[in-house]
Structure 1
Amino acid sequence: MTRIVAGSVGGRVLQVPRAGTRPTSERVREALFSRLEHLDVVAGARVLDLYAGSGALGLEAVSRGAAAVTLVETARQAADVCRRNVATLGVGDRVVVAAERAERFVERPPLAPWDLVLIDPPYDLSEADLGTVLRGLVGTLTEGAVVVVERSGRAPEPDWPAGLSRFDARSYGETAVWFSEPDEPTDADAQGAGDHEEGVHG
Protein backbone atom coordinates (compact mmCIF):
# COMPACT_ATOMS: atom_id res chain seq x y z
CA MET A 1 0.00 0.00 0.00
CA THR A 2 1.33 3.42 -1.01
CA ARG A 3 0.13 6.46 0.91
CA ILE A 4 0.85 10.17 1.05
CA VAL A 5 3.04 10.60 4.14
CA ALA A 6 2.15 14.09 5.35
CA GLY A 7 0.49 17.38 4.52
CA SER A 8 -3.01 18.36 3.45
CA VAL A 9 -3.84 14.91 2.07
CA GLY A 10 -1.51 12.94 4.35
CA GLY A 11 -2.59 9.35 4.91
CA ARG A 12 -4.54 9.09 1.65
CA VAL A 13 -3.93 5.87 -0.27
CA LEU A 14 -2.59 6.00 -3.83
CA GLN A 15 -3.24 3.55 -6.62
CA VAL A 16 -0.08 1.94 -8.01
CA PRO A 17 0.45 0.54 -11.53
CA ARG A 18 0.32 -3.25 -11.60
CA ALA A 19 3.80 -3.63 -13.06
CA GLY A 20 6.73 -1.73 -14.51
CA THR A 21 7.14 0.84 -11.73
CA ARG A 22 9.00 0.90 -8.42
CA PRO A 23 7.24 3.24 -6.00
CA THR A 24 9.49 5.05 -3.55
CA SER A 25 8.92 3.60 -0.09
CA GLU A 26 7.16 5.74 2.50
CA ARG A 27 10.29 5.70 4.66
CA VAL A 28 12.43 7.08 1.85
CA ARG A 29 9.80 9.66 0.87
CA GLU A 30 9.52 10.82 4.46
CA ALA A 31 13.30 11.21 4.77
CA LEU A 32 13.59 12.85 1.35
CA PHE A 33 10.90 15.43 2.00
CA SER A 34 12.21 16.14 5.47
CA ARG A 35 15.48 17.14 3.80
CA LEU A 36 13.73 19.15 1.08
CA GLU A 37 11.57 21.01 3.59
CA HIS A 38 14.70 21.80 5.58
CA LEU A 39 16.06 23.34 2.36
CA ASP A 40 12.77 25.27 2.00
CA VAL A 41 12.18 24.18 -1.59
CA VAL A 42 8.72 22.55 -1.36
CA ALA A 43 6.12 25.07 -0.17
CA GLY A 44 5.02 27.26 -3.07
CA ALA A 45 7.31 25.43 -5.51
CA ARG A 46 6.85 24.61 -9.17
CA VAL A 47 7.74 20.93 -9.24
CA LEU A 48 8.66 18.55 -12.07
CA ASP A 49 8.34 14.81 -11.30
CA LEU A 50 10.05 12.76 -14.03
CA TYR A 51 9.40 9.00 -14.38
CA ALA A 52 6.44 9.64 -12.10
CA GLY A 53 5.05 6.09 -11.86
CA SER A 54 2.08 6.44 -9.51
CA GLY A 55 2.88 10.12 -9.01
CA ALA A 56 3.76 9.53 -5.36
CA LEU A 57 6.68 11.97 -5.22
CA GLY A 58 4.96 14.82 -7.02
CA LEU A 59 1.71 14.30 -5.11
CA GLU A 60 3.65 14.26 -1.83
CA ALA A 61 5.00 17.67 -2.86
CA VAL A 62 1.47 18.94 -3.55
CA SER A 63 0.29 17.68 -0.17
CA ARG A 64 3.14 19.61 1.46
CA GLY A 65 2.26 22.88 -0.23
CA ALA A 66 3.81 22.90 -3.71
CA ALA A 67 2.06 25.42 -5.96
CA ALA A 68 2.13 23.40 -9.19
CA VAL A 69 3.34 19.94 -10.17
CA THR A 70 3.91 18.29 -13.55
CA LEU A 71 3.98 14.48 -13.54
CA VAL A 72 5.80 13.00 -16.55
CA GLU A 73 5.27 9.29 -17.23
CA THR A 74 5.68 7.45 -20.52
CA ALA A 75 3.82 4.21 -19.70
CA ARG A 76 0.15 4.60 -20.60
CA GLN A 77 -1.14 2.52 -17.67
CA ALA A 78 1.01 4.42 -15.18
CA ALA A 79 -0.02 7.80 -16.64
CA ASP A 80 -3.67 6.76 -16.25
CA VAL A 81 -2.98 5.81 -12.63
CA CYS A 82 -1.43 9.25 -12.09
CA ARG A 83 -4.58 10.89 -13.43
CA ARG A 84 -6.80 8.78 -11.18
CA ASN A 85 -4.68 9.61 -8.14
CA VAL A 86 -4.85 13.32 -8.97
CA ALA A 87 -8.64 13.09 -9.25
CA THR A 88 -9.01 11.05 -6.05
CA LEU A 89 -6.95 13.56 -4.07
CA GLY A 90 -8.82 16.50 -5.58
CA VAL A 91 -5.66 18.33 -6.63
CA GLY A 92 -6.35 18.67 -10.35
CA ASP A 93 -6.07 22.44 -10.12
CA ARG A 94 -2.37 22.13 -9.25
CA VAL A 95 -1.25 18.99 -11.11
CA VAL A 96 -0.70 18.28 -14.81
CA VAL A 97 0.04 14.78 -16.16
CA ALA A 98 2.21 14.55 -19.30
CA ALA A 99 2.22 11.11 -20.94
CA GLU A 100 5.58 11.15 -22.69
CA ARG A 101 9.19 10.14 -22.30
CA ALA A 102 11.17 12.23 -19.85
CA GLU A 103 14.03 12.48 -22.34
CA ARG A 104 11.70 14.08 -24.87
CA PHE A 105 9.87 16.26 -22.36
CA VAL A 106 13.03 18.08 -21.29
CA GLU A 107 13.91 18.87 -24.91
CA ARG A 108 10.83 21.08 -25.27
CA PRO A 109 10.51 24.62 -23.90
CA PRO A 110 9.68 24.22 -20.19
CA LEU A 111 6.14 24.74 -18.96
CA ALA A 112 7.65 26.80 -16.14
CA PRO A 113 11.03 27.47 -14.59
CA TRP A 114 11.32 24.65 -12.06
CA ASP A 115 12.03 25.13 -8.36
CA LEU A 116 12.26 21.41 -7.64
CA VAL A 117 12.85 18.45 -9.97
CA LEU A 118 12.35 14.88 -8.74
CA ILE A 119 13.93 12.14 -10.86
CA ASP A 120 13.17 8.55 -9.85
CA PRO A 121 13.85 6.52 -13.01
CA PRO A 122 13.64 2.76 -13.50
CA TYR A 123 16.77 1.14 -12.13
CA ASP A 124 17.63 -0.10 -15.64
CA LEU A 125 17.64 3.39 -17.15
CA SER A 126 20.89 3.89 -19.04
CA GLU A 127 23.45 6.43 -17.90
CA ALA A 128 23.17 8.01 -21.35
CA ASP A 129 19.42 8.59 -20.99
CA LEU A 130 19.84 9.99 -17.48
CA GLY A 131 22.55 12.28 -18.81
CA THR A 132 20.18 13.49 -21.55
CA VAL A 133 17.58 14.39 -18.93
CA LEU A 134 20.05 16.21 -16.68
CA ARG A 135 21.49 18.21 -19.58
CA GLY A 136 17.97 19.10 -20.69
CA LEU A 137 17.20 20.58 -17.28
CA VAL A 138 20.10 23.03 -17.37
CA GLY A 139 18.71 26.46 -18.09
CA THR A 140 15.16 25.57 -16.96
CA LEU A 141 15.76 25.99 -13.22
CA THR A 142 15.19 28.91 -10.89
CA GLU A 143 17.95 30.31 -8.73
CA GLY A 144 18.10 28.11 -5.63
CA ALA A 145 16.36 25.18 -7.36
CA VAL A 146 17.07 21.60 -6.32
CA VAL A 147 17.31 18.55 -8.60
CA VAL A 148 16.95 15.19 -6.85
CA VAL A 149 18.00 11.88 -8.41
CA GLU A 150 16.95 8.63 -6.72
CA ARG A 151 18.49 5.34 -7.83
CA SER A 152 19.61 1.96 -6.60
CA GLY A 153 22.33 2.11 -3.99
CA ARG A 154 24.43 0.05 -6.41
CA ALA A 155 24.16 2.62 -9.20
CA PRO A 156 27.01 5.06 -9.84
CA GLU A 157 26.60 8.73 -9.05
CA PRO A 158 25.06 10.58 -11.99
CA ASP A 159 27.45 12.29 -14.37
CA TRP A 160 26.45 15.87 -13.64
CA PRO A 161 26.52 18.11 -16.70
CA ALA A 162 28.02 21.58 -16.79
CA GLY A 163 25.52 23.80 -15.02
CA LEU A 164 24.57 21.32 -12.26
CA SER A 165 26.55 20.45 -9.15
CA ARG A 166 25.87 17.92 -6.40
CA PHE A 167 25.73 19.39 -2.92
CA ASP A 168 24.51 16.39 -0.91
CA ALA A 169 24.06 12.62 -1.11
CA ARG A 170 22.08 10.32 1.16
CA SER A 171 21.66 6.56 1.45
CA TYR A 172 18.42 4.99 2.66
CA GLY A 173 18.87 1.23 2.75
CA GLU A 174 19.06 0.06 -0.87
CA THR A 175 18.25 3.52 -2.20
CA ALA A 176 20.71 6.30 -3.00
CA VAL A 177 19.59 9.91 -3.35
CA TRP A 178 21.67 12.75 -4.78
CA PHE A 179 20.81 16.43 -4.43
CA SER A 180 22.10 18.93 -6.97
CA GLU A 181 21.67 22.62 -7.74
CA PRO A 182 22.31 24.91 -10.69
CA ASP A 183 25.74 26.44 -10.72
CA GLU A 184 25.66 30.07 -9.67
CA PRO A 185 27.13 32.62 -12.06
CA THR A 186 29.96 34.45 -10.36
CA ASP A 187 32.10 37.47 -11.08
CA ALA A 188 34.79 34.97 -12.01
CA ASP A 189 32.52 33.47 -14.67
CA ALA A 190 31.92 36.89 -16.14
CA GLN A 191 35.58 37.95 -16.03
CA GLY A 192 37.12 34.58 -16.82
CA ALA A 193 39.15 34.53 -13.62
CA GLY A 194 38.88 33.97 -9.89
CA ASP A 195 37.54 31.28 -7.60
CA HIS A 196 34.14 29.53 -7.89
CA GLU A 197 31.64 30.54 -5.22
CA GLU A 198 29.94 27.98 -3.01
CA GLY A 199 26.43 26.94 -4.10
CA VAL A 200 23.23 28.13 -2.46
CA HIS A 201 22.64 24.84 -0.63
CA GLY A 202 26.28 23.92 0.05
Structure 2
Amino acid sequence: MALATPKQGTRPTTDRTKEAIFSHLDSWGVLDDARVLDLFAGTGALGIEALSRGARELVAVEASKPAAALVAGTLKQLKRNRSWTAELRARVLVRKAEALAAATADAPYDVVFIDPPYAFETEACNRLLADLVANGWVDARGVIMLERSARSDDPTAPEGWEITQSRAYGETAVFYIEAAENGEDAI
Protein backbone atom coordinates (compact mmCIF):
# COMPACT_ATOMS: atom_id res chain seq x y z
CA MET A 1 0.00 0.00 0.00
CA ALA A 2 1.39 3.40 -0.96
CA LEU A 3 1.62 5.86 1.91
CA ALA A 4 0.08 9.29 1.59
CA THR A 5 2.69 12.04 1.73
CA PRO A 6 2.09 15.66 2.75
CA LYS A 7 2.81 18.25 0.05
CA GLN A 8 5.63 19.73 2.13
CA GLY A 9 7.31 19.55 5.50
CA THR A 10 8.29 15.87 5.60
CA ARG A 11 11.32 13.97 4.41
CA PRO A 12 10.30 10.33 4.09
CA THR A 13 12.95 7.73 4.83
CA THR A 14 14.28 6.33 1.57
CA ASP A 15 13.38 2.74 0.72
CA ARG A 16 17.06 1.75 0.86
CA THR A 17 17.51 3.20 4.35
CA LYS A 18 14.20 1.77 5.59
CA GLU A 19 15.09 -1.71 4.35
CA ALA A 20 18.50 -1.50 6.03
CA ILE A 21 16.95 -0.34 9.33
CA PHE A 22 14.39 -3.14 9.37
CA SER A 23 16.85 -5.79 8.27
CA HIS A 24 18.98 -4.73 11.23
CA LEU A 25 16.09 -4.70 13.72
CA ASP A 26 14.75 -8.03 12.40
CA SER A 27 18.16 -9.62 12.91
CA TRP A 28 17.99 -8.56 16.56
CA GLY A 29 14.45 -9.90 16.95
CA VAL A 30 13.26 -6.73 18.67
CA LEU A 31 10.10 -6.18 16.63
CA ASP A 32 8.19 -9.32 17.63
CA ASP A 33 5.29 -8.28 19.87
CA ALA A 34 6.94 -4.87 20.38
CA ARG A 35 5.43 -1.61 21.54
CA VAL A 36 6.69 1.03 19.09
CA LEU A 37 6.91 4.80 19.49
CA ASP A 38 7.46 6.69 16.21
CA LEU A 39 8.54 10.29 16.86
CA PHE A 40 8.43 12.86 14.05
CA ALA A 41 6.31 10.23 12.30
CA GLY A 42 5.87 12.13 9.02
CA THR A 43 4.17 9.60 6.71
CA GLY A 44 4.19 6.94 9.44
CA ALA A 45 6.34 4.67 7.26
CA LEU A 46 8.67 3.45 10.02
CA GLY A 47 5.95 2.68 12.54
CA ILE A 48 3.67 1.07 9.99
CA GLU A 49 6.53 -1.07 8.71
CA ALA A 50 7.20 -2.18 12.30
CA LEU A 51 3.56 -3.30 12.60
CA SER A 52 3.89 -5.29 9.39
CA ARG A 53 6.97 -7.02 10.84
CA GLY A 54 5.46 -8.21 14.09
CA ALA A 55 5.05 -5.21 16.41
CA ARG A 56 1.74 -5.22 18.29
CA GLU A 57 1.35 -1.54 19.15
CA LEU A 58 2.23 1.75 17.49
CA VAL A 59 1.98 5.30 18.74
CA ALA A 60 2.89 7.71 15.94
CA VAL A 61 3.71 11.23 17.13
CA GLU A 62 3.60 14.05 14.59
CA ALA A 63 3.36 17.81 15.27
CA SER A 64 2.04 18.69 11.81
CA LYS A 65 -1.74 18.32 11.76
CA PRO A 66 -1.91 17.63 7.99
CA ALA A 67 0.80 14.94 8.22
CA ALA A 68 -0.82 13.40 11.32
CA ALA A 69 -4.17 13.29 9.53
CA LEU A 70 -2.59 11.41 6.62
CA VAL A 71 -1.03 8.87 9.01
CA ALA A 72 -4.39 8.46 10.75
CA GLY A 73 -6.04 7.88 7.36
CA THR A 74 -3.47 5.25 6.46
CA LEU A 75 -4.00 3.48 9.78
CA LYS A 76 -7.77 3.59 9.26
CA GLN A 77 -7.30 1.85 5.90
CA LEU A 78 -4.99 -0.74 7.45
CA LYS A 79 -7.48 -1.51 10.20
CA ARG A 80 -10.00 -2.48 7.50
CA ASN A 81 -7.51 -4.88 5.94
CA ARG A 82 -7.96 -8.60 6.49
CA SER A 83 -4.44 -8.89 7.96
CA TRP A 84 -5.30 -6.49 10.84
CA THR A 85 -6.01 -8.50 14.00
CA ALA A 86 -7.72 -7.58 17.25
CA GLU A 87 -4.36 -7.69 19.08
CA LEU A 88 -2.91 -4.84 17.02
CA ARG A 89 -3.13 -1.28 18.32
CA ALA A 90 -2.21 1.94 16.54
CA ARG A 91 -2.92 5.60 17.12
CA VAL A 92 -1.62 9.01 16.16
CA LEU A 93 -0.86 11.85 18.55
CA VAL A 94 -0.69 15.40 17.22
CA ARG A 95 2.06 16.63 19.48
CA LYS A 96 5.65 17.81 19.45
CA ALA A 97 8.05 14.96 20.18
CA GLU A 98 9.94 17.17 22.63
CA ALA A 99 6.80 17.85 24.68
CA LEU A 100 5.91 14.16 24.79
CA ALA A 101 9.43 13.16 25.89
CA ALA A 102 9.41 15.79 28.65
CA ALA A 103 6.33 14.15 30.23
CA THR A 104 6.38 10.92 32.22
CA ALA A 105 5.48 7.81 30.22
CA ASP A 106 2.65 5.51 31.28
CA ALA A 107 4.66 2.49 30.11
CA PRO A 108 7.95 2.08 28.24
CA TYR A 109 8.30 1.21 24.56
CA ASP A 110 10.48 -1.54 23.12
CA VAL A 111 11.46 0.35 19.98
CA VAL A 112 11.58 4.12 19.55
CA PHE A 113 12.05 5.61 16.09
CA ILE A 114 13.29 9.19 15.96
CA ASP A 115 13.42 10.76 12.51
CA PRO A 116 13.45 14.54 13.03
CA PRO A 117 13.87 17.10 10.26
CA TYR A 118 17.52 17.42 9.26
CA ALA A 119 17.46 20.99 10.65
CA PHE A 120 16.75 19.63 14.16
CA GLU A 121 19.79 20.77 16.15
CA THR A 122 22.14 18.22 17.73
CA GLU A 123 21.66 19.77 21.18
CA ALA A 124 17.86 19.44 20.87
CA CYS A 125 18.35 15.86 19.72
CA ASN A 126 20.54 15.06 22.74
CA ARG A 127 17.99 16.65 25.09
CA LEU A 128 15.19 14.60 23.46
CA LEU A 129 17.18 11.36 23.91
CA ALA A 130 17.93 12.19 27.55
CA ASP A 131 14.27 13.05 28.27
CA LEU A 132 13.01 9.83 26.65
CA VAL A 133 15.25 7.75 28.90
CA ALA A 134 14.79 9.82 32.07
CA ASN A 135 10.99 9.86 31.77
CA GLY A 136 10.54 6.14 31.14
CA TRP A 137 9.65 6.14 27.42
CA VAL A 138 12.19 3.44 26.51
CA ASP A 139 12.37 -0.02 28.05
CA ALA A 140 15.80 -0.84 29.53
CA ARG A 141 16.07 -3.64 26.96
CA GLY A 142 14.71 -1.45 24.18
CA VAL A 143 16.31 0.12 21.14
CA ILE A 144 16.26 3.72 20.00
CA MET A 145 16.80 4.21 16.28
CA LEU A 146 17.78 7.77 15.39
CA GLU A 147 17.94 8.96 11.80
CA ARG A 148 19.75 12.22 11.00
CA SER A 149 21.62 13.99 8.26
CA ALA A 150 25.04 12.44 7.70
CA ARG A 151 26.35 16.03 7.85
CA SER A 152 25.05 16.58 11.41
CA ASP A 153 27.20 16.13 14.47
CA ASP A 154 26.85 12.70 16.02
CA PRO A 155 24.36 12.57 18.89
CA THR A 156 25.34 11.86 22.48
CA ALA A 157 23.69 8.85 24.09
CA PRO A 158 21.89 9.47 27.39
CA GLU A 159 23.69 8.53 30.59
CA GLY A 160 23.77 4.74 30.98
CA TRP A 161 23.08 4.25 27.27
CA GLU A 162 25.41 3.95 24.29
CA ILE A 163 25.43 4.15 20.53
CA THR A 164 25.96 0.48 19.72
CA GLN A 165 26.04 0.93 15.95
CA SER A 166 25.86 3.65 13.35
CA ARG A 167 25.55 3.44 9.59
CA ALA A 168 25.54 5.99 6.78
CA TYR A 169 23.31 5.66 3.72
CA GLY A 170 24.12 8.55 1.41
CA GLU A 171 22.84 11.72 3.08
CA THR A 172 21.34 9.76 6.00
CA ALA A 173 23.04 8.55 9.18
CA VAL A 174 21.31 5.95 11.36
CA PHE A 175 22.24 5.41 15.02
CA TYR A 176 21.16 2.51 17.24
CA ILE A 177 21.14 3.41 20.93
CA GLU A 178 20.76 0.87 23.72
CA ALA A 179 21.25 0.67 27.47
CA ALA A 180 24.97 0.15 28.10
CA GLU A 181 24.55 -3.23 29.82
CA ASN A 182 22.43 -4.58 26.95
CA GLY A 183 24.42 -3.40 23.93
CA GLU A 184 26.67 -6.45 23.68
CA ASP A 185 23.77 -8.90 24.07
CA ALA A 186 21.91 -7.47 21.09
CA ILE A 187 24.70 -7.81 18.54
Task: Settle same-fold status: TM greater than 0.5.
Answer: yes
1:150 corresponds to: 147
Q: Does 1:131 align with 2:126?
A: yes
Q: Unmatched 5+ residue regions in structure 2?
A: none
| Shift in Å, 1:161 | 2.0
Tell me the number of residue pairs that the alignment of Structure 1 and Structure 2 aligns: 179
Please, what TM-score do these two structures have when normalized by structure 1? 0.83
Contact 1:138-1:163 at 8 Å conserved across structures: no
Give matches, 1:1-202, under 5 Å.
12-90=1-79, 93-139=88-134, 140=136, 141-184=138-181, 199-202=184-187
Contact 2:57-2:90 at 8 Å conserved across structures: yes
| Shift in Å, 1:85 | 1.0
1:188 corresponds to: none
Give the 3-state SS of the residue equivalent to 1:14 in structure 2.
Answer: coil
Contact 1:135-1:161 at 8 Å conserved across structures: yes
Query: Structure 1 stretches (4+) deviating beyond 6 angstroms?
Result: none
| Shift in Å, 1:198 | 6.1
Larger Rg computed on CA atoms: 1
* 16-25 vs 135-144, greater mean Cα deviation: 135-144
Percent identical across equivalent pairs? 39
Q: Deviations over 1:132-187 (max 9, x none)?
A: 21011114222321101101111111022212211101111221101010233xxx
| Shift in Å, 1:80 | 0.7
Q: What CA RMSD, in Å, does the superposition of the two structures yield over aligned residues?
A: 1.7
Structure with more of its chain in helix, by fraction = 2
Give the 3-state SS of the residue equivalent to 1:200 in structure 2.
Answer: helix
